[in-house]
Structure formats: C-alpha cells, structure tokens
Amino acid sequence: MKSEIVSVGTELLLGNIINTNSAFLSSELAKLGINVYYHETVGDNRPRIMDTIGRALERSDLVITTGGLGPTSDDITKETIAEVTERQLVADETELEKIHSFFKSINREMTPNNIKQAYVPQGSIVVGNENGTAPGIILELDKGTIIMLPGPPAEMKPMFTEKIVPYLRSKSPGALVSVTLKFFGIGESALEHSLADLILNQSDPSIAPYAGKGEVRVRLTSRSAKGNGIPQSITNMIEIIESRIGQYIYSYHDQTIQQVTAKLLMESGKTLAVAESCTGGRISALLTSVPGISKSYKGAVVSYSNDMKEKLLGVKKQTLVNTGAVSGPTALQMAAGVRMACGSDIGLAVTGIAGPDGGSGEKPVGLVYIALSAEGYSEVWEHTFRGNREKISIYAAKNALNHLRLYITGQIESIDKTMY
C-alpha cells in the first residue's frame, strides 16, 4: 500500500510550528508495514489544498491529512476535500451533541462557528475525538482512502493509535507484524555491510535499517494470519542476523538503551551511583526516566570543576595535575569515589571534552573516558565522538549505559582489571 501524508497549515510553512505529526505518522505506518511515499505541506488555501489532495489521490492508496478541522474560517481541510471528492457536507448528530455538551461542561457559550466541526463529507466514518472537539474523518473512495486527523499532536496521536490503527489493521487481509532489533556498538555502515546481501535480496520479511543517536535499529516486517504471532520468516531472519552481528543486539522489542539497562540493573539486585562531568547529569536523566529505578539508583554527583572532583569524589590532586581532568585515571577515581560516597555496588563515571572549545592535539574535542568501579572490578574505556556539544554528550551518556549493560550481563570480564 502506498500512502501519503498531507500536513495542512500556513503556520507550518512559516516555521511557527514544528511539524512533528508527519514524523510520528511515518513511524507508526512503518510499524504497520505501510509505505509512506510522500510528505506534503500546504497552507490554508483552498486552491492549493485542492491541487495537493487531487495529486495525492492520483498516486497514493492512502492519504492522511492533519490539521484544518477546527472551527475557524481558515480551517478548510474537510470542506476542500468534500469539494474534491464531490461529497455534500452533512451534520453528524452525535458529534453535534458532543460539542454542545462540551461547552456546557466548561460553562462557556458555544459560538456558532463551532458547529462546523460536526459537519463531515457524506458517507464518512466519523472518528470520535476524546481529547478535543474536532472529530477525525475516514472517507473511503472507489480508489483509495482519505483519513483526516486534527492538527494538535495531543489530539492526533491518541486518535491515530487508538482508533485509526485498528481500522487499518481491519482492512488488511492478514496481520502485519514487525519486530525491531536495536544494536549498540556497531555503526550504520558496518551493520549494512554485514547484512548487505539480506537487504539486497529481501522479500519476506522486509528489512529496514535506521540510524539513531549512537545506535542502529533494524525493523523486520512480514504478514501473518491474524492471531498467529510472529511469522516464521521473521524468526528465521533474526537467527541469521544473530549469527552475524548478534553481539551488538541489545533489544528485540524496540526498547531504549536506558530502558534495557535500567531493567537489567533492577533485576540484578545491585545498586548504582553515577559521577558525571561532560554529560552534566544526562545519564541520571536517562535512568530516572524509567519507572521503578529508585530501587536501584542511589544518586549522582555532577562534578564539573576539578575542585568538586577532589572534594566530592576523592580524585587525587596529583592525578589531576599529572593526567588532567579528562583522562583514564581521573575517570576511574571518579567511579570509585562516587561508589564509596553513595554506598552503591557499582560506580559509573564519565569525563570528557564536549566542545566546541577546550580541545587540543593530544586531547581533541569529543575525547571521552567512561569508567566503571565495582567490588573486584574496575575498568575505563576511551572513546572519541564526532559532532557538536549536544551530540557528544548524548553519545557519551548512551555509551556509558551500554558499558554498564555489558557489565551486568557478564559480557565483559568480571575480574580485577585496572588499566591504569
């Protein structure tokens, strides 16, 4: 199925609002195995909307619009689509009553222009909006389908997830099943090289690699009889991928590195404390975004200055003088110091140069040391990341969590091993 997303709103063209709807819809449609071929953005102009919708219907089986369903005079999406498809606008009594009840419940007088939200093209399937007053609309045509969704993400996203996804699945002769493998420690080009023959000759399942911030994911999609679980073709493909680059897989369920690592930490029964310099609290923010982590996460010390590294973490002054704040020995002492200060089983530390200034020939911008300290074990890893300050910080934080994950799962040696 070829699909197209049309975003309606002059504010999008002016840059007043960032269009997050298209990215969300593309991602969700991909999970359903529906290919998105085009993204269009058009202002609140009837002739241009007519032209855009007409072109979309000629080349796509499914057209999804967002925006232009509200009560104001510039909300003209459904009126224009009704004109393009030669449908009359008729009042939906259920939605009309809902709008009246809404204004009554908030003790406000309903202005007449709100009534237009209850009008839909004749023959439409009306999709209730639990988070606003403008309903969604499904219009099934002889050739293709148009789905009109409200523009505000807080309304559009739950409507799509809760009501449009089941509709799209019901129209499929079989259930589209996707499994997303997530990888850490291998780059996009290296992953694609390892799977090049599979990607080139793909049929069932389809194979789609994507790069993220410091990681890579591969989505496998196939069609199965409804209710039959994961198709055998996906299971077989996973086994092939595991045999080639399985050591880099950290999730089979499209989870984040923080979700996976936090779950492993909680299951291990061990506690963690973190010392951060160049990441400025980002590791802590990632971990504490996971519910239940309080049982395992003791706390953190953000020690940006050398003085704080000495006073709060016990980093030796001589170490800072001899090797500098950005060094393996300093990272190791930070990890050991935060473990002792917080009374945790594991100490994790990061120090580096996030830039854009502060680098040198010997220690360039992007140089990062990550250290882990536990009873009978200590190690430090050196990384050099490329990019701006934000990217380096994100990469450092995620790599720190990945090292912690590997330690917990026993994929790195659990012996007394100190590199410095």
Q: Cα 203 to chain center, whole Å?
A: 26
How far apart CA 84 and CA 88 sit, in angstroms, is: 11
The answer to whether the 175-251 and 257-408 domains have the same CATH topology is: no
How far apart CA 119 and CA 221 sit, in angstroms, is: 38
Supply the pLDDT for residue 413.
Answer: 46
Range of lowest pLDDT (38-42, 156-160, 207-211, 294-298): 207-211
Q: Is the pLDDT of residue 48 over 60?
A: yes
The predicted-structure confidence for 307-329, as pLDDT tens digits, reads as follows: 999 999 999 999 999 999 999 99
Please, are residues 184 and 247 in contact by the beta-carbon 8 Å criterion?
A: no
Q: Is the pLDDT of residue 420 over 50?
A: no
Q: Is the pLDDT of residue 260 over 70?
A: yes
Q: Is the pLDDT of residue 255 over 90?
A: yes
Supply the pLDDT for residue 225.
Answer: 64
Q: 363 falls in which pLDDT band (50, 70, 90)?
A: very high
pTM for the predicted model, two decimal places: 0.75
Domain ranges in the chain? 2-170, 175-251, 257-408
What is the CATH code of the structural domain delimited by 257-408?
3.90.950.20
The predicted-structure confidence for 53-89, as pLDDT tens digits, reads as follows: 999 999 999 999 999 999 999 999 999 999 999 999 9
Supply the pLDDT for residue 234.
Answer: 95
Looking at the domain 2-170, which fold is it? Molybdenum Cofactor Biosythetic Enzyme; Chain A (3.40.980)
Supply the pLDDT for residue 419.
Answer: 34
Name the residue type at position 8.
V
Q: Is the pLDDT of residue 416 over 50?
A: no
Q: 224 falls in which pLDDT band (50, 70, 90)?
A: confident
Q: Is the pLDDT of residue 228 over 70?
A: no
What is the CATH code of the structural domain delimited by 175-251?
3.30.70.2860
* Tokens at 9, concatenated: 């709103």
**Average pLDDT of the chain, as a whole number:** 93
